Structure formats: structure tokens, C-alpha cells
Structure 1
Amino acid sequence: MVEGKFIYFNGHFVEWDKAKIHILSHVIQYGSGVFEGIRAYETKLGTAIFRAYDHYKRLKESMKMYRMETSETIEDYINITKELLIKNGLKSAYIRPVVYRGFGPISPNPLHAPIETAIAAFEMPNLFNEKVEKGINVCVSSYRRFAPDTIPAVAKATGNYLNSQLAMMEAELNGFDEAVMLDVYGYISEGPGENIFLVKDGALYTPSLTNSILKGITRDSIIKIAGLLNIPVFEQNLPREMLYAADEVFFCGTAAEITPIVSVDRIPVGDGSVGKITRMLIEKFREIVHEGKDPFGWLEFVEAEGY
């Protein structure tokens, strides 16, 4: 259970327990909200938010798809987040902004419900915690990702994750750490809350945006880091059997960071241990977010006297 001191809530910083909404809010009844997952890291150069601009840009894009508008700009959101970290005394944190439809008409039509905003920040380890070092065991879910003409996969919308919940529950109840989901055509899509990469013969392969995936910020970071390391990257349709034939497989995302996968459907990936390229990417990623060696300008430093 997470908790903190303050939450940014509709224009004000309020105490954690006072950030409340009406039980009949549109977001509760119909899942009408968009959100982000962002991390701040305590680097050797100070606390920094990882790719803050890109995350809030994606939040704005998700809002646009669902015809939602707020007065805050991307820069406003970044400054609010910095102030929130300072108020909460957090050197590293998981940050959760959410823009949602509040209490209004009890109708699926969201246009007449008010739009509200909250940003929370709290301590949270890697999604898979201590399992991340040795890798996790996954299954291919029986639940598919949604078709492209149903709801937009590139929008990070709260309601999308009902689909994810089904896959996650199925995986856990069957003894796995996580699931891999296929798209409506049977190609590899992503995890319930993570993008996925495969390594084969020294190259990286990842599903494309046409495979019902979220346009992941960490996914994009991996692609750029791979370029720095001269590792070829291919974005394309990937059949399910590539999961079993791959030399290495890993998830990536803000919550999961880079998490190796060592078996799929109880079939070992490669030799069943964390692979060389995966380790290289993990080391370079950690070098950026923990040591502050950032060749891409991704770190947004929180600067305050005594902080």
C-alpha cells in the first residue's frame, strides 16, 4: 500500500487522505480517464525526473483522443511535479498523473462531465521487485489485445487496463509472474503493462505500433540506447513462436524498467538465464538514471535549495 504527504488535486496541493472524488464520478462508472507513469531517480547529480516532457506530451495526446482539455501546459505539469516531489521530500519516486471525468450526468457520454486532474508521487520499487535480477517467468495469455478499430491502444487510458487485468489475473492464478498478450491477428503485442523486446542473433525485435501496443517512453529509450550500442533494432510483426525461438526476451516500462524474461509457457528463453544484450541495456539504462550520465538530455533535474 502506497502513501505520501501531499497530492496535487485540481489546482491545489492537498493532504494525501483528502484527495477524494465522488463515488458516482464518470471515471468510476465508465473508466473515463487518462494517465501516466513516470519515475524520478536520485542520481549522483541530484534528483531528476526521467523524460518528463515526453511523458506529459503523451498525456496531452491521450487527452486529445478522448476530447479532454485542461488549462495546464506540459511545462506547468513538469513544474507542478517538481514542487510535489519537494513537498513530499522524495529523492526518488513513482509519479502518477491522472486526468479524468468527475461527477456529472450518469450517462456513458462523457462530454458533459467535468474534467479533473491529480498528480501523486510515492516510493515504489521495480514492479517485479527482487525477481528482476534473475528474470521472470511468463505465459502467453488467452486474452487478446483490442482491435485497432475499437479503442486507441496508443492512448494511455484507464479503461484500457481492464483488458490488462484479465491477463494478469490469469497469469498469477496459473503460477506465472506476468503475461504476454497477442494482438487480434495473433502477433505478439505487449505485456499487460509493459512493452516487449526479443533478441535474436544479436539484433533487437519489438512489435510495431500497429500491433495494439502503447507507444512506450521506456520502449523508445531502449531503441535509442540500442543505437548508441550499435545494436540493430527492428519494429515489425512478430509471430508467437518467436517467443520460444528468441535468444533473449525482456519487458520494459516505467514500472518494470527493464525486466528480463527467462521462460515463456515454461519453455526456457535461450539457456534460461538473463542474456548478454539484456544486461548491456540494463547497465546503460542504470548508468543514465542512477549516475546521471545522460547523452540524450532525458533527465529533468529538480533544483531547490537544500533538496
Structure 2
Amino acid sequence: MAAKTAELIWFNGAMMPWGDAKVHVMSHALHYGTSVFEGIRVYDTHSGPAGFRLTEHVQRLFDSAKIYRMPIPYSFDEVMQACRDATLGNSLKSAYIRPLAFYGDVGMGITPPKDAQCDLLVAAFPWGAYLGEDSMDAGVDVAVTSWNRLAPNTIPTGAKAGGNYLSSLQISTEAKRNGFDEGIALDTNGLVSEAAGANIFVIKKNKIYTPPATAAILMGLTRDSIITLARDKGYQVVEEPMSREFLYLADEIFMTGTAAEIVPVRSVDRIEVGSGKRGEITKEIQQSFFGLFTGETEDKWGWLETLES
């Protein structure tokens, strides 16, 4: 029996009971990984539930589908409304939204028929801290795993696709089975790429570093938000390749993602980062980010999109 996390779900154009959303066991995506998806946070703000950078997340869903030539049979506005309906229909004030487009039972064979259309679901449900409730304060222990991120021109890392996450599964599983909270991957050049499901930031001598797009990373919207907030506070943010040992010599490290939000790293490969505790700059960045939802940080960029009309 599937886990039930909400009462209702939006599936192929209609809201329905959570348990009624079913797909066939011969669905193409189940066999070949042909799905694209998004993760979107909804925060409880003084103006009501608000999707964080909702428009940009939905646009990235369509961009990912375009990269894989997967036609979504709904308009941009219809998907935006589905995100609202899935959240408000479950009376959620804070939530995680998961839109997912996939090929259903369109026949066997790697290449779907030319006239095949995607199915689309939008789920909204409560989801707390991805790496544990105390991770935001206490930080996490990570390991650089033996698994590399994908080489250029293999699978497009710029698309948020289901099949891509088998790489993340290997990275995270290896780390956790060896006693760590999360895993970090290097790219095929041996340089730091990203964590299994989050981008990486390193602080050294009050300067903030993060791997560039060419490091086989997903260009996270939370990553972009943190770069913007940090620069707005006067910090220099440098996007450049970094070696594994640069992590060992960092003053502070934190990871970012829609699910992870902002999580400090207290050790890498059992080497303590800085003092082994959340650093002051990391804490300041966290306060600026979460302040967007309490009103303590001005939303100069229009990132918060109220769901209620």
C-alpha cells in the first residue's frame, strides 16, 4: 500500500483522492526513467501560503521537458493553477509541491511514439527538514563518494529528470551506509560537483565559493537565491572549480536545495570544517533566507508568489 501524505492530488487535469492516482505497471517511465519533475517549497507567510519562486520552477519543468522532447499536454498557466489547487485543496499553509511529467503506457521500446503525450501529476504535501530537524543548526557530516557526476554530453544535467537521480541514489546510499549523513560527488575531472540532492557553498576568508555550471551541477534555484542574497549583503561570491582538498581547508561549508533548504556541513570525510559547528556567515545567510518568509528580509526580487487569490 502506498504511503498517504495528503488527501487530494492533481492528476491529468483533475483533483482526485490521493489513493485514486494510479499508473500502469507497463508505464514507459517505470522502465526507462522518462520523467521530469520539480520540487517547490510553499511557506506560511503573513500574506498566506506562498510558493517560493513558483513561476521559475514551473518554467524549469517545461525546460526539462523540452530538453527531452517530452510534450506536456497542459499550458504553463494550467500547471501553475494545478500547483495552487493541489496546495490549497489540501488546506496546506506550508508544503512541498512535486509536479511530475512522465510517459505512461505508451508502449515498449526506448523511443516513445511520435504522438505520445506525457501524463502529469502535481502533489502537495507536508515535508519538514530533508536532512533531519536538527540539521539546520547542528549541521551534517558528509563524505566525498567514489561516484562521479555525469560527464558532459552523456545525460543533460541541466534537466531535472527522474533517470538522472540514479546517480544521486548511488552517491547518497554509499555515504549513508558508511555512516555519513550525505554524499558529495566529484565531476569527471576530479573537481567538486554537488551533493546527492543539493548544491555546495564553501566559505574561506569571508569569501563565498561555489562550483560553476560546468561542474555537472543542477543550477538550483535555491543556489541562485543564496548567491543573490549573499551579494546583496556585500559578500563576494565566486563561481569557480574547486578541488576536493579545498573542502578540507574551508572555514565553513553549507549545502542548498529546495528540499534541503540551507544545511551547514560540520565535517567532510571525517575532517572537521572550521570549528565543527555552524559558522557565523552560514547562520547569517540562513537568517536572510528564512527572513523572506517572516518578513524580516525584504523580498526585493518578487520570489514569493501568494497562492490564494
Tell me if structure 2 keeps the 8 A contact 1:134–1:260. Answer: yes
For the residue of structure 1 that corresponds to 2:79, the secondary structure is helix
Change (3 A) 1:257 1:146: same
For the residue of structure 2 that corresponds to 1:285, the secondary structure is helix
Tell me if structure 2 keeps the 8 A contact 1:2–1:123. Answer: no
Q: Is 1:156 the counterpart of 2:160 in the alignment?
A: yes
Partner of 1:212: 216
Partner of 1:145: 149
RMSD over equivalenced CA pairs, Å: 1.2
Count of paired positions: 304
For the residue of structure 2 that corresponds to 1:29, the secondary structure is helix
Displacement of 1:90 in angstroms is 0.4
Partner of 1:294: 299
Distance 2:27 2:70 in 1: 15
2:85 aligned to 65, 78, 83, which one? 83
2:9 aligned to 7, 31, 51, which one? 7
Q: Could you list the runs of 5+ residues in structure 1 that have no partner in the other structure?
A: none
Correspondence list, 1:234-273, <5 A: 234-273=238-277
Partner of 2:206: 202
Distance 1:31 1:92 in 2: 29
Distance 1:206 1:176 in 2: 22
Tell me if structure 2 keeps the 8 A contact 1:53–1:75. Answer: no
Partner of 1:125: 128
1:284 aligned to 278, 288, 295, which one? 288
Aligned amino acid, residue 296 of structure 1: W
TM-score, scaled to structure 2: 0.96
Tell me if structure 1 keeps the 8 A contact 2:73–2:117. Answer: no
For the residue of structure 2 that corresponds to 1:283, the secondary structure is helix
TM-score, scaled to structure 1: 0.96
Displacement of 1:8 in angstroms is 0.8
Tell me if structure 2 keeps the 8 A contact 1:219–1:252. Answer: yes
For residues 222-252 of structure 1, give each alpha carbon's deviation from its aligned partner in whole angstroms, at most 9, with x where no partner exists.
0110111011011111111111011111110
For the residue of structure 2 that corresponds to 1:68, the secondary structure is coil
Displacement of 1:45 in angstroms is 2.4
Partner of 2:118: 115
Tell me if structure 2 keeps the 8 A contact 1:203–1:232. Answer: yes
2:31 aligned to 29, 32, 38, which one? 29
Aligned amino acid, residue 220 of structure 2: G
Tell me if structure 2 keeps the 8 A contact 1:225–1:281. Answer: yes
1:172 aligned to 164, 171, 176, which one? 176
For the residue of structure 1 that corresponds to 2:208, the secondary structure is strand
Distance 2:55 2:88 in 1: 18
Displacement of 1:82 in angstroms is 1.1
Displacement of 1:105 in angstroms is 1.7
Distance 1:87 1:291 in 2: 25
Change (3 A) 1:55 1:94: same
Aligned amino acid, residue 167 of structure 1: I
Tell me if structure 2 keeps the 8 A contact 1:2–1:122. Answer: no
